[in-house]
Amino acid sequence: MLHITNGDVASGKLRASGVPGDVLAWRDVLHEGPVPIAPLPELSRIRADYLASHGLGDRESLRAEFADRDASLMRFMDHEEVVLWFEWDLYDQLQLIQLLDFLAAFPAESLEETKTSVDIVCIEGYLGTTPMDRFPSLYDHRAGVSAAMLELGREAWRAFRSPAPVGIEVFLKKDTTALPYLAGALERHLEEFPSVDNGLSRSESQLLEAVSSRPLSFAEMFKRASNREERRFCGDAIAGVYLERMSQAAVPLVTHPSGERIDAPPAKENSAAFRNAEIALTEAGRSVLSCESDWIEMGGSDRWLGGVRLAGRGVRWRWDPGARSIREVVTGTRVD
C-alpha cells in the first residue's frame, strides 16, 4: 500500500498511526512560483529551482528529492492500493489535482491488470492537527477515486497551469461536487492576483493590514494575517517571501522600524531573530493600502501564480473583489 500526503507532519502521523503501508510526502508549495505546462520531470526541476531561489532548500538536494518522489509515484502500480490523503485548503487541493492529473493518464484497464485500487481521504480541516488515533478511522472511511474526480483533476490542473487565469473561471462554472473543496480553493487562488483597487493580492493586503496601526513582530503579523483565512494554506516561510518582495521593491511598502529593508532568512536557518523582529508599514505602504496608490503601477510585482507570470508594471490580469472575477487590463494603466 502507498499513501501520498501533503508533507512531513501528516506523513509522520500516518507512519505512527498504525495504518499499514509506505508513505510518500508530496511537499511542494504549488500556489507560489512557476507551474507551467510541462512534463513532470521538467516541472519538478523548475519547482526545485524556484524553491531554492527563495531559500526554501538547497537546489541540488531539492532536485534529487523531487526526482526520488516522482520515481516513487511512477511505480504506483507496484502497489495493491494507493491512498491520497489531503485537506481542504489551497496548498493541498493543488497537490491533489496534480496527482489526479497524473493518475488520469492511466486507463482503468491497466489498473485492473495490476490489481491496483486508488482511494482518497479528503477532510474539512487539517491533517497536521488531526489526532493520530483518528487516522485509522479516516482510512476505514476512504472512498474510491472516481472517473469524475480524475476528469475534474485533469481539467483543473490544466486551467491552473495556463498562462491566462480565465480558464480557472471557466472551470469553476462546472459541477465540481465530486471534489467538494476544489472550487473554494481555486477561488482563493484567484484572490492572489493583484486587486483592481490597489495592486495588492489578498495575502499581501492582509499582511499590511496587520501592521497598519503599529509595528508588530513578524510572528504576530503572520498570526493575524493567517487568522483572516477561511482555510489556512500559507506557511510563515512563504509569508516571509511576500514580505521580502514588498520590502525589496523599488518603493518599499514595509521595512523594519529602523528603515532597514526586510531580508527573510532561509526556511531551514534559525529564524528566531527574524520572527521577533518588528515590521512597520511605510508611507508608501499606507498609501497603497488605502487605495490612493497602486503597487503594480509602482512596479511592485514580480511573481508567478500557476502558469501566469506577473512582472513589474506588465501585469495583464487583475482580481476584481467586488465582482469576484478576473479582469484583463491594458498594461500600465490604472484600473478604475
Is the model's pLDDT at 57 over the cut of 80?
yes
CA quadruple 250, 232, 163, 62: dihedral positive or negative?
positive
Q: Cβ distance 182 to 99 under 8 Å? A: no
Question: What is the reported pLDDT for 330?
Answer: 72
Does pLDDT of 336 surpass 50?
no
Predicted TM-score (pTM) of this structure:
0.94
Set out the domains of the chain in order of their start, with CATH numbers: 2-190 (3.40.50), 202-328 (1.10.10.10)
Reported as a single tens digit per residue, the pLDDT across 238-263 is: 999 999 999 999 999 999 999 999 99
Q: Look over the chain and give the mean of its residue pLDDT values, rounded to a whole number.
A: 93
Reported confidence tier of residue 266, pLDDT bands at 50, 70, 90: confident
Confidence of residue 312 (pLDDT cuts 50, 70, 90): confident
Q: Write down the pLDDT at residue 269.
A: 64
How far apart (Å, rounded) are the C-alpha atoms in residues 199 and 219? 25
Question: Which residue did the predictor score with more confidence, 95 or 8?
Answer: 95
- Give the number of other Cβ atoms within 10 Å of residue 278's Cβ: 16
pLDDT confidence of residue 164: 95
pLDDT tier for residue 335 given thresholds of 50, 70 and 90: very low
Cell numbers 469576484 correspond to 324
Amino acid at 309: R
- Taking 90 as the threshold, does the pLDDT of residue 334 lie above it? no
Q: What residue type is 238 in one-letter code?
A: I
Contact present, 253 and 295 (Cβ < 8 Å): yes
The Cβ-side half-sphere exposure at 304, using a 13 Å CA radius, reads 18
Q: What is the pLDDT of residue 267?
A: 66
Per-residue pLDDT, averaged over 281-286, amounts to 97
Please report which confidence band the pLDDT of residue 270 belongs to, taking 50, 70 and 90 as the band edges. Answer: low
Task: Give the pLDDT of residue 108.
Answer: 87
Give the helix/strand (H/E) hosting 181. none
In this predicted structure, the answer to whether residue 301 has a pLDDT above a threshold of 70 is yes
What CA–CA distance (Å, rounded) separates 173 from 126? Answer: 27
pLDDT computed for residue 333 by the predictor: 47
